Amino acid sequence: MDDMDHENDTRDEWLERVAALPETAEVVPEQWEEIRAAIAPGPARRWWVQAAAAVTLLAGGLAGGFAAGTRHAAAPRSSIDEAMALAAEVQRTGSEYVAALAAFTAVVDSLSADARVQGRDAAIATLVGAASELAALTDAELALNPLAAPGGAGAGRVRF
Amino acid sequence: METAIDSIPERDAAEMALARARRGDPNAFETLYREHRGRVYGLALRMTREAGAAEELTQDAFVRAWRALPRFRGESRFGTWMHAITVRTYLQSKRSMDRRSEREVEDEDMDRYAFAARRAMPGTDIDVERAVARLPDGAREVLVLYDVYGYRHREIGEMLGIAEGTSKAQLHRARTLAREFLAR
């Protein structure tokens, strides 16, 4: 009985000490400027401008690359147009994916646990699929141009 | 201060700031940030046990709160809602951290945490803070929310995504373990 009472006293003392811990920090890092920058509407608009610029650069780069390539080996015009269209499609759907993910993230706090998990899993599955295709693209590219791989099959074979 | 919030003029000012922030006024949101950042940072520090991570969590929580603010219906107090967002943000961050690395909490970590806790909350009981910080994640999260911040098991279950019974079991485990740590 004494032991039990002692146990209860110990528990009560312990609980009192825990309950007496302050809920609020008195010294808090000043973070308002960072938060204000993060919530400002500007970055979203800038992001779209950057995405549009990236499409332009990508298309320009592709056009330049194809133009240089066709000086030596004239590729059929239709295949160039098709490649550019596909690259632009990759850029457009990629941008849509990021925008959709941002929209999901913005509302995630209001969703049920199931919906959050479902949305996150869908986002990850899409990303994994894209990464897999990108890895295949890189492999195919390296097979065409081994010298592009640092330390790859072509490295060390360059002779001047 | 809780007492200041409870006085009528202060409460009215807080409600006005909340209403304006919900309509997209960042200056009003700054008022809310200044009113609640101490409580959010205190919780963030006890959840993450690391000053840098607590700062990041606090910032992320307020940014998320701003984005979700139009959907805040006032069913709970803003402070409670902020804590729920803080806990969810912490859990998401923890899940991604857990995938990258899992390691034991070491004495050095506890020393750094004790330093950060003493700096942020000068009057706190460092021995108890250390004992709580040594607890396993699930037990610590429940004990902090229940014993320090006064939430009920139902609320804790919703915040942490666990059953009410699990919250009760974790609290029992946490209290037992923490008493042992404190006695050492």
Total count of domains within chain A: 1
Both tokens assigned to B167: 């919250």
The pLDDT value given to residue A12 = 74
Q: Which amino acid is at A33?
A: E
Query: Which residues in B lie closer than 8 A to residue A16 (C-beta atoms)?
Result: none
B136-165 residues touching A, CB cutoff 8 A: 143, 147-149, 161
Q: Is residue A81 part of a domain?
A: yes
CA dist A13 and A41 (Å) reads 51
A65: containing domain? 47-91
| Residue pair B54/B116 in contact by the 8 Å Cβ criterion | yes
Q: Is residue A123 part of a domain?
A: no
The pLDDT mean for chain A works out to 66
B22-51 residues touching A, CB cutoff 8 A: 26, 29-30, 33-34, 37-39, 41-43, 45
The pLDDT value given to residue B86 = 97
Distant-in-sequence, close-in-space partners of A82: CB < 8 Å, separation ≥ 6: none
Query: Which CATH architecture describes the domain B123-184?
Result: Orthogonal Bundle (1.10)
The pLDDT value given to residue A10 = 54
The pLDDT value given to residue B75 = 80
Tokens 């396993």 belong to which residue?
A: B136
Residue A104: which of A85, A123, A86, A81 has the closest Cα?
A123
CA dist A43 and A50 (Å) reads 10
Interface test with B, best of A39, A105, A116, A127 (most B CBs within 10 A): A39
CATH class of B1-98: mainly alpha
The pLDDT value given to residue A4 = 43
Q: Does residue B67 or residue A119 have the better pLDDT?
A: B67
For chain B, domain boundaries:
1-98, 123-184
Is residue A101 scored above 50 in pLDDT? yes
Q: Is residue A111 part of a domain?
A: no
The pLDDT value given to residue A82 = 75
Is residue A53 scored above 80 in pLDDT? no
CB contact under 8 A, B38 and A17: no
Q: Is residue A114 part of a domain?
A: no
Q: Is residue A55 part of a domain?
A: yes
Q: Is ipTM strictly over 0.95?
A: no
- For the stretch A3-46, pLDDT in tens is 444 445 455 788 899 999 999 999 999 999 999 999 987 644 44
Query: Which residues in A lie closer than 8 A to residue B174 (C-beta atoms)?
Result: none
The pLDDT value given to residue B103 = 56
Q: Assign B174 to helix, strand or coil.
A: helix
Q: Is residue A52 part of a domain?
A: yes
Q: What is the pTM of this model?
A: 0.62
Q: Is residue A13 part of a domain?
A: no
Tokens 């008195």 belong to which residue?
A: A26
CB contact under 8 A, B63 and A106: no
The pLDDT mean for chain B works out to 90
Phi, psi angle pair for A12, to nearest 5°? -65, -40
